[in-house]
Chain A
């Protein structure tokens, strides 16, 4: 097995870890992964930031980071939670938004906005949709219904 320790590959490995709640996107896609530093001794320091203060996925992400980087040959993996600057959906890449849409979750618009804007149905593309609940299956999503195709869908809230 080839060791990649010291080759600067820790970011790439960490960046490929899927989000536990939305496995179609990675923690880098979402902007949760902030920073990865490594030294030539195989020590890695990873900084991640929660989407919401109470996001229950953070512990899982920490475990995933430690297990994945350890399996890749890193000897000491340290994961730090950082709060500032506060996470925003503006950090989500366009690629991530496209992946979410294909997965059936309407991606966030530019935000945050207090005036509700039209949200496009990820199923049929109609803009004739309505919000059925400001809070959805996880803290970061709201619940919507499409009037055109009658399907309910999740929307990733701008914050």
Chain B
């Protein structure tokens, strides 16, 4: 079967790949640190799903670029200025409430994005997204349950969940920023994503934060300092031992 050449830009697919990859790396931090063993498994599995999505997207990005870069080349041999992920996913999340607030926003966004890509005109993205959308439904459900449990829980869990939400909220808007050659217009996802998130917050008796958006710039390669540390850890083995295999 001959597939016609895609007009989808490398940079667009790379952005979506980097979102999933960096989020997966942050999820992995929770292994052995989550509040309970079941949560270790859950966050590891969610991270693994995201890593799988990232691998598929990076492989496709490499094909679009046409410079012979593999998924590993793209994941391990780029510096922070060459990453195109949003700021939402790159900052440390050492508070469980923050992790769940972020996962709620991120999975609600990925759910809408992948659902739209699955019906879109790029057949490769449609195949990747058609698979991912089913996985993300579980991620969103997991985040929703925790946000409701903590938000509508004790006085302390409610207060901490609200603080976590305030911490993440400045990074929501960047998800909807314009991207050159976007297959799915990011702005078009905004209403549906916010409707999902805000309905969960209402159920959790939490207040939608009123905070100014962060400057952002991840899609142009501008990042917080935190991404550099994340990449140092993620890329160290591969860069120190090129070609190493298990």
Q: Which residues of A contact B (CB under 8 A)?
A: 50, 52-56, 82-88, 112, 114, 132-139, 143, 157, 159
Contacts and interface: CB of A to CB of B under 8 A. Distances in A.
Q: Which of A112, A134, A138 has the most CB of B within 10 A?
A: A134
B42 interface: yes
B56 A83 contact: yes
B229 interface: no
A88 B137 CA distance: 14
A54 B51 contact: yes
Contacts of A88: 134
B92 interface: no
Interface residues on B, range: 20 to 34
12 contacts: A52-B52, A54-B52, A85-B130, A114-B137, A114-B141, A133-B38, A133-B39, A134-B141, A135-B38, A136-B45, A139-B49, A159-B138
Nearest to A140: B45
Which of A50, A83, A157 has most chain B Cβ within 10 Å? Answer: A83
Contacts of A114: 137, 141
A150 B172 CA distance: 43
B46 A135 contact: yes
The majority secondary structure among interface residues of chain B is: helix
Given A84-B126, A86-B131, A50 B38 contact: no
Given A84-B127, A139-B45, A132 B134 contact: no
A131 to B, nearest CB: 10
Nearest to A138: B45
Where chain A touches its partner, the secondary structure class is loop
Contact of B134 (A56, A82, A86, A135): A86
B41 A133 contact: yes
Contact of A52 (B41, B49, B137): B49
Contacts of A138: 45
Given A53-B56, A55-B52, A84-B130, A132 B38 contact: yes
Contacts of B49: 52-54, 139
Contacts of B107: none
B48 interface: yes
Interface in B125-150: 126-128, 130-132, 134-135, 137-138, 141-142, 145
Nearest to A54: B52
B162 interface: no
Contacts of B42: 133-135
Nearest to A158: B134
Greatest chain A CB density within 10 A among B38, B39, B126, B141 is at B38
Contacts of A53: 49, 52-53, 55-56, 128, 131-132, 135
Contacts of A159: 134-135, 138
Nearest to A136: B41
B135 A52 contact: yes
B85 interface: no
B50 to A, nearest CB: 7
Contacts of B46: 135
Nearest to A84: B127
A90 to B, nearest CB: 12
A85 B135 CA distance: 15
